[in-house]
C-alpha cells in the first residue's frame, strides 16, 4: 500500500465556470473530496492554500516547502501538489532547489476548470498520483505531470495560454510518460545541490530586454534595497548599447546581475565581444545562467541570496545549472 499526500493550493484545477464561461475560485476546493480508486494507493487530501497562481508569492512557496518537509517525516511515499498553471513552474523549481528530493514530489494542474467540457484536472491529478506512487520516481527531483508527460521542474515551462498541451521542456523534452500500464522514464536528470532556507530576501527583479531598451529601466533599480536583477537578454545574452553603463553602475553598487536568454530554446552564453555583447557583459561581472528561463533564474537568485551566498560563491551557484 502506497500512502500519497495531496496538497492543494488552488488554481484552475479547483475552480468552476459560470454560465457565461467566467472562471472563478470556489470557496472550497472540490478535489478535497476526491478518492483514488486503486487498492494499492491510499490518498490523503489537504488544503494548504486556495489561490489563483497569480496570487502565489515566494512566501507561499516557502509555506508549501515547509509542509512538504513535515510530510517527509509522516511516513508518506509520495506527495502531489495541485497548483494553478501560470506560476506552477516557479513553485516547482523553488521546491526543487530547496528540498532533498528523495521522496517523489509531483506538481500538476489543469487548463480547464472542474465543470468545463473536456476538463483535464481529474485526469492530470490521477496521473500525478500514479507518478508519485511509482518506485521509479524516487530521487528524480521535483516533477511536473501534465497531459501524460513527466517533466523536470528545472526546465519545464508553460508554452500556450489555453491549450491542455501547454507544459513543455524546450531543448531537452520530457523525461518520462504516463502510460496505461504504468510510468515510463527514458531520461535521467543530473542531481543538484539542495539549498535549504527558512526565510526569504525580497526585491529581486526580472527585466526583459528589447530593441531600443532605455537605461532608465535599469537606473530605477539601482537602489540600496535592490538585492538582485535577472535580465532576459537578446539572443545568447546580449544587451542594447544604451543599457551598458546602467548595468556597470548596478554591478559597482554590488547588485548581482544575472543574464539568461529571452529565446525559447538554447542557453545563454557569452559569444560576442563588443559593447553590450555577452563577452563584454561577462567581463563587467554579469553572471550567465545556462538553461533556465527568466522566472526560474530569478527564483534561483532569490534562493541563493536568501541562503546568504555572496560574491563568487553566489556567481558559481547561479552559473551552474546543476548546482
| Joined grid coordinates for residue 188 | 535521467
From 12, 25, 108, 131, active-site residue: 12
Catalytic residue flag (residue 25): no
Sheet holding 105-108, edge to edge: 41-47, 2-8, 78-82, 105-108, 142-146, 149-152, 176-179, 182-185
| Joined grid coordinates for residue 51 | 489561490
84 with 183: CB under 8 angstroms?
Answer: no
The position carrying cell 526565510 is 199
3-class DSSP state of 33: helix
The closest of 308, 57, 320 to 198, measured between CA atoms, is: 308
Per-residue b or e along 194-203, where b marks 16 or more CB atoms closer than 10 Å to that residue's CB = ebebeebbee
Between the two ends of the chain, the Cα-to-Cα distance in Å is 35
Separation of CA 297 from chain center: 9
| Joined grid coordinates for residue 286 | 554579469
3-class DSSP state of 236: coil
Residues with catalytic annotation? 12
Amino acid at each position: 500500500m502506497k500512502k500519497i499526500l495531496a496538497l492543494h493550493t488552488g488554481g484552475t484545477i479547483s475552480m468552476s465556470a459560470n454560465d457565461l464561461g467566467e472562471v472563478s475560485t470556489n470557496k472550497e476546493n472540490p478535489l478535497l473530496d476526491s478518492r483514488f480508486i486503486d487498492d494499492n494507493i491510499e490518498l490523503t487530501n489537504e488544503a494548504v492554500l486556495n489561490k489563483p497562481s497569480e496570487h502565489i508569492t515566494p512566501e507561499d512557496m516557502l509555506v508549501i516547502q515547509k509542509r512538504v518537509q513535515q510530510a517527509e517525516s509522516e511516513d508518506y511515499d509520495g506527495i502531489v501538489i495541485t497548483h494553478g498553471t501560470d506560476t506552477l513552474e516557479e513553485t516547482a523549481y523553488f521546491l526543487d532547489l530547496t528540498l532533498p528530493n528523495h521522496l517523489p514530489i509531483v506538481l500538476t494542474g489543469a487548463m480547464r476548470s472542474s465543470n468545463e467540457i473536456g476538463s483535464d484536472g481529474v485526469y492530470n491529478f490521477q496521473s500525478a498520483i500514479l507518478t508519485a506512487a511509482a518506485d521509479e520516481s524516487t530521487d528524480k527531483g521535483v516533477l511536473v505531470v501534465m497531459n501524460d508527460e513527466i517533466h523536470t521542474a528545472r526546465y519545464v515551462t508553460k508554452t500556450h495560454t489555453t491549450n491542455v498541451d501547454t507544459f513543455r521542456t524546450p531543448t531537452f523534452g520530457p523525461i518520462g510518460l504516463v502510460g496505461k500500464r504504468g510510468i515510463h522514464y527514458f531520461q535521467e536528470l543530473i542531481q543538484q545541490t539542495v539549498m535549504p532556507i527558512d526565510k526569504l530576501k525580497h526585491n529581486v527583479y526580472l527585466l526583459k530586454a528589447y530593441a531600443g531598451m532605455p537605461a532608465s529601466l535599469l537606473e530605477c533599480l539601482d537602489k540600496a534595497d535592490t538585492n538582485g536583477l535577472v535580465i532576459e537578454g537578446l539572443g545568447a545574452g546580449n544587451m542594447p548599447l544604451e543599457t551598458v553603463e546602467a548595468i556597470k553602475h548596478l554591478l559597482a553598487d554590488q547588485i548581482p546581475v544575472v543574464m539568461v536568454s529571452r529565446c525559447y530554446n538554447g542557453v545563454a552564453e557569452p559569444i560576442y565581444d563588443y559593447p553590450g555583447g555577452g563577452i563584454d557583459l561577462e567581463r563587467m561581472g554579469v553572471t550567465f545562467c545556462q538553461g533556465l528561463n527568466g522566472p526560474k533564474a530569478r527564483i534561483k537568485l532569490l534562493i541563493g541570496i536568501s541562503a546568504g551566498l555572496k560574491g563568487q560563491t553566489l556567481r558559481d551557484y547561479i552559473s551552474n545549472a546543476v548546482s
